[in-house]
Amino acid sequence: MGTTTWDVPAFQASVYAPRNHDCVLVIPVINEGERIRAQLLRVQAAQLPVDVIVADGGSTDGSLAADFVAAAGVRAVLTKTGSGRLSAQLRCGYSWALDEGYEGIVTIDGNGKDNVEAVAHFVEKLREGYDYVQGSRYRKGGKAENTPLERTIGNRLIHAPLMSLSGRRWFTDTTNGYRGYSRRYLVDLRVQPFRSIFVNYELLFYLTVRAGQLGYRVEEIPVRRTYPIGEPTPTKITGTGAKFAVLAQAINAALGRYAPDGGRS
């Protein structure tokens, strides 16, 4: 599967620095204001072994102004101009990263809930030869701070068991967008992540189950995820309809409906 056959939404790339590492941190974001600014500064201060790319869904809040992101050490901002939501942003970010020659990709949400220092652990695991690395707040050494009860119930009793059974590997935190992928996994013809079917959250769930199904090396590592107290929950999934839509996407991934040609191997 070459780049000429990849279906990637239209986007504009603003590049501020050359490539310095073999792994890259891709941060999908849209209108996160001071959350993303504070997060980028924490990433910079941590001196992580990655280049940083922001996959912007079309922010209008000024948080990704060129002078700020350049000073914060961001290598590039990819602004999606085509259709789609999170999975479309990730297709933009992952395709650009692979075209740039990166061997490993780490993804972290841009809403400031995650401990950025764990990025180094993801990179370590990718360099050890793992192909899919899932972050978990529930594993020993991880921490779930102020997690809404419905999130805990939905993740631990529904989502994680569903993804684990389908992916043939045991996971504890499959709604967590903090994860890493190897280049060889993403370019495998049996995976094909660059398809227009991936628009919302489908790509996250599909890549979770597909790795185990194909026998790739999978690992889950502890991370910290903190929800703010006294503030609205930082999330783009709001309302009953949106929550049921996400569940439907997880079920479709578990049933193999996103695999190429509808196959599971």
Is 113 strand, coil or helix? coil
* pLDDT for the residue numbered 232: 65
Helix 160-167 vs helix 240-254: angle between axes, to the nearest 10 degrees? Answer: 20
Residue 1 has a pLDDT of: 45
> What's the pLDDT score for residue 213?
96
pLDDT per residue of the chain (265 residues) written in tens, 0 to 9: 456 689 999 999 999 999 999 999 999 999 999 999 999 999 999 999 999 999 999 999 999 999 999 999 999 999 999 999 999 999 999 999 999 999 999 999 999 999 999 999 999 999 999 999 999 999 999 999 999 888 899 889 999 999 999 999 999 999 999 999 999 999 999 999 999 999 999 999 999 999 999 999 999 999 999 998 877 665 656 567 778 898 999 999 999 999 997 554 4
* Per-residue confidence (pLDDT) for residue 87, from 0 to 100: 98
Question: What is the predicted pLDDT for the residue at 235?
Answer: 62
What is the secondary structure of 167-192 as a DSSP string?
HTS--S-TT---EEEEHHHHT-TTT-
pTM value surpassing 0.85: yes
SS3 152: helix
- What is the C-alpha separation between 25 and 21, in angstroms, rounded? 10
Collect all residues with Cβ–Cβ distance below 8 Å to 99 and sequence separation of at least 6: 3
pLDDT for 236 equals 59
Domains of the chain: 7-262 (3.90.550.10)
- pLDDT of res. 183: 98
